[in-house]
Amino acid sequence: MNYQKATFLLSVANLHQLPPDAGVEIAIIGRSNAGKSSVLNQLTKNNSLARVSKTPGRTQHINLFGLDEKHRIADLPGYGYAKVPPNMKKHWQTLINTYLYERQCLHGLILVMDIRHPLKDFDLQMLEWANASELAVHILLNKSDKLTPNQQRKTLSLVSEAISEYGTPFSVQLFSAVKGQGLDELKSALAPWWKKSAS
Ligand SMILES: Nc1nc2c(ncn2[C@@H]2O[C@H](COP(=O)(O)OP(=O)(O)OP(=O)(O)O)[C@@H](O)[C@H]2O)c(=O)[nH]1
Ligand SMILES: [Mg+2]
């Protein structure tokens, strides 16, 4: 997959604005400020593609990026930013939940965690749900550059152990969207998802 060909398609606040449910979509999900947009920028080597915000919770829509006619990446709104008004939080929740439940072309989730705060409630809920739905999840322990190699290894084995409890085969790796650490490993993890038959 040539990620550098990614182009911004559209930003949707309501699901009926999404393009037809065909081809293959992979979604990037995670808590607010975990680095979802930065991961997308690193993957596509395009720093202006997804808006990277220093103010958490700024990506309020589902932003869709096209790799080619049939393959898309969805940058989902961050979850768990406390300062968001409750009615807006509710809207996001409904948006994400409905997208996850109804989007047939969704073939996998990239779950981004800040390596310093792994497996928070939201992350566990996502894993539970994905497990029940038999949806593939690849976890990025992002911002690895903030920890020593030894601390990185410890968190990696902790999370590896936690996900081995699930029936659905989830995977996890170290990543740094800023440094580009783990980029090849990420691409290898995603490759089989793109090949799943586009229904
Ligand atoms: N040190 C370090 N900082 C990172 C890394 N990835 C992201 N950041 C920083 O973390 C902050 C949040 O990054 P975003 O990519 O906007 O995070 P997001 O998950 O898209 O946030 P929302 O869209 O608000 O949910 C920014 O200041 C980034 O520069 C990383 O690998 N290392
Ligand atoms: Mg974002």
Q: Does the pLDDT at position 83 exceed 70?
A: no
Q: Is 51 exposed, middle or buried (0-12, 13-18, 19+ CB in 10 A)?
A: middle
Mutate to test the pocket of ligand 1, among 52, 59, 88, 123 (most ligand atoms within 8 A of CB): 52
Q: How far apart are CA 38 and CA 63, in angstroms?
A: 13
Neighbours of ion ligand 2 (CB under 5 A): 36-37, 59
Mutate to test the pocket of ligand 1, among 32, 33, 95, 181 (most ligand atoms within 8 A of CB): 33
CATH number of residue 17's parent domain: 3.40.50.300
Please write the tens of the pLDDT for every residue from 3-27.
Answer: 999 999 998 988 999 999 999 999 9
Full domain range(s) for residue 10 = 3-195
Number of domains in the chain: 1
**pTM for the predicted model, two decimal places:** 0.94
Are 144 and 174 contacting, i.e. CB atoms less than 8 angstroms apart? yes
pLDDT digits (tens, 9 = 90+) for 124-180: 999 999 999 999 999 999 999 999 999 999 999 999 999 999 988 899 999 999 999
Of 168 and 54, which is predicted with more confidence? 168
Q: State in Å: Cα 60 to ligand 1 middle.
A: 15
